Structure 1
Amino acid sequence: MKTLIRKYRLHLQASFMLLAMLVCSIVLTSCEKDELDIRQNYPFEVQVMPVPKEVTNGQTVEIRITVQRSGNFSDAKYFIRYFQFDGQGALRYYSEPPYMPNDLYVLPQTQFRLYYTSQSTVSQSFDIWISDNFGNEKQISFQFNSRD
């Protein structure tokens, strides 16, 4: 009977030792990384609804734009700037004053409307750049032929 109890004790000790090694290996392998990996920089795409191909002098065209983010970081900020290289016109955000070419403006929303007013009787071309505070940038080109 003593031999049986001794074998049982040895078996029990070996089981506890194996269990302790298993617990230690789980704890040590799951805690390898000290820092939490937080991602802030998410690329984005820009979606633009179709616009007319022709405008007349004085006509205003609505441009609907949506910035589609691949992830959501609450402190991400978006900016807009534009440059007109053919013709003349004015680009503005809703009822705000017209944008100045190559100046950087904050976009308060990721879905918005711009209004381009033609001030020319010739073809007009301009580019819009939308960027974020992480250096990602997308360019959109517009060209309007004159109906005058």
Structure 2
Amino acid sequence: MRKILKIALCTLSLIAITGACSDDIDIKQDYEFEVNHLPVQKSIKKGETAEIRLELVRSGRWEGAEYYMRYFQPDGTGELKTEDDLIFKPNDLYEISKETFRLYYTSQSEDQQVIDLYFLDNVGNMVTLTFSFNNEPDEGEQ
């Protein structure tokens, strides 16, 4: 009888152990990222364009990762566009298709200008960059 009890307990233990396993594989999708940039000029005249070179740096790779950008301009007036001449509209969401890319900001104001760039991924991570430009009057202007 004890032998049968031991076999039954071993069988139940084996069932409990194998039953606890799952076929679900946990695939990591939530990788942090950052956006690096080269130095950007601080002064800009009305009508002048500043180049902003950016690089998306991911802490890990997931094939289904998607990245987006939107921008706001809390101070001043200007135009932000891509190297392919796509002009951004404030607060609209744009997909980022390359890990290194350039943006071009053209001043349309004689006041100080500030642009905020928001980078997001499809799992909720976000990175923010802010660029400030001061108006640079010509020498002799007051």
Q: Shorter-chain TM-score category?
A: 0.7 to 0.9
2:96 counterpart residue number: 107
Deviations 1:7-43 (A, max 9, x none): xxxxxxxxxxxxxxxxxx9xx68x8443222111111
TM-score normalized with structure 2 length: 0.79
1:75 counterpart residue number: 64
Aligned equivalents of 1:63, 1:47: Cα separation in 2? 10
* Alignment of 1:131 onto 2:120: yes
Aligned equivalents of 1:80, 1:136: Cα separation in 2? 12
* Alignment of 1:52 onto 2:41: yes
Deviations 1:30-68 (A, max 9, x none): x84432221111110111111011001111111011111
Q: Percent identity among equivalent residues?
A: 44
Report the secondary structure of 2:70's partner residue: strand
Cα RMSD over matched residues? 1.7
* Alignment of 1:64 onto 2:20: no
**What number of residue pairs does the alignment pair up?**
122
TM-score normalized with structure 1 length: 0.76
1:85 counterpart residue number: 74
Aligned equivalents of 2:100, 2:56: Cα separation in 1? 6
1:8 counterpart residue number: none
Aligned equivalents of 1:32, 1:81: Cα separation in 2? 43
1:7 counterpart residue number: none
Letter in 1 for 2:60: G
Letter in 2 for 1:120: S
Q: Could you list the runs of 5+ residues in structure 1 that have no partner in the other structure?
A: 1-24
Aligned equivalents of 1:36, 1:122: Cα separation in 2? 55
Letter in 2 for 1:134: V
Q: Could you list the runs of 5+ residues in structure 2 that have no partner in the other structure?
A: 1-13, 138-142
Letter in 2 for 1:106: E
Q: How far apart are 1:78 and its partner, in Å?
A: 0.6
1:117 counterpart residue number: 106
Aligned equivalents of 1:101, 1:145: Cα separation in 2? 20
* Bigger helix share: 1
Aligned equivalents of 1:35, 1:103: Cα separation in 2? 37
